[in-house]
Structure 1
Amino acid sequence: MNTLCKDYQLTEEIGRGRFGSICRCVNTQTGEVLACKIIHKADLQDSLDKDCLFNEIAILKYLCGHRGIVELRDFHENDECLWLFMELCSGGDLFDKIVEKKKFREKEAAVVMKSLMETIGYCHSKGVAHRDLKPENILFASNSFSNDIRIADFGQAASFNPGEKMSGIVGTPYYVAAEVLQGKDYDEKVDIWSAGVILYVMLSGIPPFNGDTPQQIFEAVLRERLRFPNEPWLTISHSAKDLIRRMLCRDVHRRLSADEVLGHRWIVDNCL
């Protein structure tokens, strides 16, 4: 604890996470401004919460070095608390941007999707599936809108070997892939489904599958056909809708991979 107090000065709270608060802090040795996740161990409800937290730390260390993944700079622990010192992303998250903009222009959405798929493709090549992609977990490194995004919150992530299946119902209702909700074993393409939902929301301002409760959302994902109502989809390109259909394809074998999303005409044409 003494080392922590000497090396870091915590300032204001800037957010709340699943397990605790997130504060701005300064490394007193370098002057660098960071974000610090503070987790009180008493707030961890069970061993699954602890596993989720330490899983995130292990995976962030394993994936370090890729610019699209939020960087874990330091980690401290005592009997009461855990402190995760992370790269500060001052531009907020994609959820905030969607609320602010209502709808993205196609070129804007393509820039975000290209950066997201490059990072997810890297994760998949390293044998890691995120399993909880959503706008709140996609951060902007700075206040200027750009492709400089970071993926955060790897607590639900899982490691896999090529061709290996995963199991377990994880994720956030609007963004969970159909095969996860069906209780089937699944592969890393669950991340492509989640990214397809994100793209749909960015372009339209509404989710593709809706409901008032998590159960209703799950039922919509499992039963409803993907629709593109005239408002607002009439003015959105056929190419964008084609990409979304291929990302939200219930047949996992026909669903695109991250590399195939990057090679789709809509991404290529809008990111020239």
Structure 2
Amino acid sequence: MPGAVEGPRWKQAEDIRDIYDFRDVLGTGAFSEVILAEDKRTQKLVAIKCIAKKALEGKEGSMENEIAVLHKIKHPNIVALDDIYESGGHLYLIMQLVSGGELFDRIVEKGFYTERDASRLIFQVLDAVKYLHDLGIVHRDLKPENLLYYSLDEDSKIMISDFGLSKMEDPGSVLSTACGTPGYVAPEVLAQKPYSKAVDCWSIGVIAYILQRLHPALDGEGSREEVHL
């Protein structure tokens, strides 16, 4: 496994807990766990994505792609990757800590957004996605669960997260892998036709609609899972 997902800032650690003080579990996924931790040297709080290397067997390419994308981007509305460590049987992605929760949960709490608040939020998402597209990166899984508030403040900025399905476009190539989350996927993806970075714009349109009119998919019964279609 070492080297399979190697990046320019790849680091080895005998014990990651010598560097970071692990605190609370922030969330869990199919292959990872996200931990609130404190850098023992700087006292900076971070979110650490802990991934068991055994769980990555056969999926090394996907993780390599995600790390390559995260290394390439730096934008105020995108959750940043600070470092990567390998320690024992795990990979540790040291991520910027954002503490405001998912847009999904705030939509459910508020019911709907005013036009002013919705436009402010969508402007931030569009600015970040334009930045990604200018770099040749397509996110492919934009949805309220992957948009995080930086803080609990009412006027907190929004941050794009989770680049697990993202893809860097090769010059002259087209995308064809059917992936994403039902309800937010563009028609050409569902039809299993070649597509472009415009699929992200479709997803943003769906989110903009939901912000002002709570969609049945967000009433607690809809799927929150990403899928390979």
Same fold per superposition (TM over 0.5): yes
Give, as a single letter, the amino acid of the residue that structure 2 aligns with 1:105. T
Please state if 1:60 is matched with 2:109.
no
1:83 maps to which of 92, 95, 104: 92
2:44 maps to which of 32, 39, 43: 32
Gap runs ≥5 in structure 1: 215-272
The 8 Å contact of residues 138 and 151 in structure 1, kept in 2 or not, is answered as: yes
The 8 Å contact of residues 66 and 163 in structure 2, kept in 1 or not, is answered as: yes
Distance 1:163 1:117, change over 3 A: farther
2-structure distance, mates of 1:213, 1:110: 25
| Counterpart residue number, 1:99 | 108
The 8 Å contact of residues 25 and 34 in structure 1, kept in 2 or not, is answered as: yes
Please state if 1:153 is matched with 2:162.
yes
Distance 1:37 1:109, change over 3 A: same
How many residues align? The count is 210
| Counterpart residue number, 2:28 | 16
Distance 1:20 1:161, change over 3 A: closer
The 8 Å contact of residues 201 and 207 in structure 1, kept in 2 or not, is answered as: no
| Counterpart residue number, 1:2 | 14
| Counterpart residue number, 1:192 | 201
1:33-52: CA deviation from partner (whole Å, max 9, x where unpaired)? 010111112333x52x3322
Q: Which has the higher contact order (CA 8 A, sep 6+)?
A: 2
Q: Aligned with 1:68: secondary structure? A: coil
Q: What does residue range 209-228 of structure 1 map to in structure 2 within 5 Å?
A: none
Q: Aligned with 1:85: secondary structure? A: strand
1-structure distance, mates of 2:184, 2:36: 29
Considering fraction of residues, name the structure with more helix.
Answer: 1
Larger Rg: 1
2-structure distance, mates of 1:106, 1:16: 33
| Counterpart residue number, 1:122 | 131
2-structure distance, mates of 1:162, 1:66: 23
1:131-153: CA deviation from partner (whole Å, max 9, x where unpaired)? 01011111111111336121111
The 8 Å contact of residues 80 and 95 in structure 2, kept in 1 or not, is answered as: yes
Please state if 1:51 is matched with 2:30.
no
2-structure distance, mates of 1:163, 1:68: 28
Considering fraction of residues, name the structure with more strand.
Answer: 2
2-structure distance, mates of 1:213, 1:138: 17
How far the C-alpha of 1:101 sits from its partner, in A, is 0.7
The 8 Å contact of residues 197 and 207 in structure 1, kept in 2 or not, is answered as: no
Gap runs ≥5 in structure 2: 1-12, 224-229
Give, as a single letter, the amino acid of the residue that structure 2 aligns with 1:156. L
1:151-172: CA deviation from partner (whole Å, max 9, x where unpaired)? 1111111111466421110101
TM-score (norm 1): 0.72
Give, as a single letter, the amino acid of the residue that structure 1 aligns with 2:97. L
Moved over 6 A (4+): none
2-structure distance, mates of 1:94, 1:163: 35
Please state if 1:144 is matched with 2:153.
yes
TM-score (norm 2): 0.85
Distance 1:18 1:69, change over 3 A: farther
Q: Aligned with 2:23: secondary structure? A: strand
How far the C-alpha of 1:69 sits from its partner, in A, is 1.1
Q: Aligned with 2:183: secondary structure? A: helix
| Counterpart residue number, 1:183 | 192
